[in-house]
Amino acid sequence: MAVEILKEKYRSKVGEVVLGATKEQGGTRSHTITVGGESTLPFLHFEGEVPHRPVVAMEILDMAPEDWHPCFKQYFGDVYDDPAAWAKKCVEQYGADLIQIRLRSADPDFKDSSPEDCAAVVKKVLEAVGVPLIVIGCGKPEKDSTIFPVVAEAAAGENLLLGVAELENYKAITSACMAHQHNIIAQSPIDINICKQLNILIAEMSTAMVNRIVIDPTIAALGYGIEYSYSIMERASNGALQGDKMLAMPMIGNIGAEAWRAKEANISAEDEPGWGEQEERGIMWESTTAMAYLQSGMNILVMRHPRSVELIKGQIDDLMKDNSY
């Protein structure tokens, strides 16, 4: 007696977002990356399409990161002060699918760099690598709202992914994206209703933006509330497949930054002998966090450690293998 395979019949699918633009499309990227489009839950190829594999972005900063664990020096120490070289190394040596640059230096508490300085850094990174680019502000809304218009204009045609837009301050960044045709990261605080509401508000500013939104559900690291984000994402994915258009956007998460904040990733084996060696523990803390989010439907994983990137790309290869019956 053959087992009758149970396949869900979903009404809808996750929308697709295209990142980057080639010369023919008005940009300078060597290729574009499309995310989303899945018509089933993660990697269930037996019942639906997963047309685009999840991608891994590596995160860089526009200034040397004082707060990163010293174990990162051996990989990036030589390029910490040169974002263009840093980006190039991530792509050429460590296989980053795309680059996320955080404009931390613009923070008034750091260097208070001007919007023009920020735009110049973005341009340099664009020149150094051919992959699509994600640009994140410094996190201070007043400052970011002055940066986005300038960066968006300087990189017009490149079809960036810009972030982050939040419920309290989405207008400046949305306008910048609309004016220069970039994509936007809509961030909500582990709350599916706010997630949806923010998407609606951005869509109200311009319906053309609907296909340009990437959801950042705000993710927590392994051990620090990962199960909350995991479940919010599962609910959003189910909502998207059941036809809720305002939840049907691809999702992004800052895995590296969150995982490497955890004590478990950083503390030395001398200080916590029961937990084993530090660097491998950090790598596994980051990649296990990423593994979980692949299982809850994340499309763009922003990561930090070269080995974590390698491991998770290997797992994506495995998960993308057909499993039809």
Is residue 9 within the footprint of another protein (CB under 8 A)?
no
Question: Of 45 and 124, which has the nearer Cβ to another protein?
Answer: 45
Residues with Cβ < 8 Å from 211, sequence gap 6 or more?
15, 16, 17
Q: Which residues pair with 183 in a beta bridge?
A: 161
Interface residue with another protein among 125, 165, 298, 312 (CB under 8 A) is: 312
State the burial class of residue 168 (Cβ atoms within 10 Å of its Cβ: 0-12, 13-18, 19+).
exposed
Alpha-carbon Rg of the chain, whole angstroms?
19
Question: Of 53 and 124, which has the nearer Cβ to another protein?
Answer: 53
Interface residue with another protein among 20, 33, 36, 43 (CB under 8 A) is: 43
Is residue 284 within the footprint of another protein (CB under 8 A)?
yes
Amino acid symbol at 70: P
Shortest gap between Cβ of 153 and another protein (angstroms)? 31
The 200-239 contact track toward another protein, x by CB under 8 A, reads --------------------x-xxxxxxx-xx--xx--x-
Q: Which residues pair with 312 in a beta bridge?
A: none
Question: Of 63 and 176, which has the nearer Cβ to another protein?
Answer: 63
Shortest gap between Cβ of 192 and another protein (angstroms)? 10
Shortest gap between Cβ of 14 and another protein (angstroms)? 17
In angstroms, rounded to a whole number, what is the distance separating the alpha carbons of residues 295 and 149?
35
Q: Is-contact 7 137, C-beta < 8 A?
A: no
Q: How many residues in total does the chain contain?
A: 325
The candidate with the shortest Cα–Cα distance to 133, out of 151, 156, 158, is 158
Question: Of 143 and 180, which has the nearer Cβ to another protein?
Answer: 143
Residues with Cβ < 8 Å from 263, sequence gap 6 or more?
none
**Binding site residues, another protein, CB under 8 A:** 1-6, 43-46, 109, 220, 222-228, 230-231, 234-235, 238, 261-264, 274-278, 280-281, 283-285, 287-288, 291-292, 295, 307, 311-312, 314-315, 318-323, 325
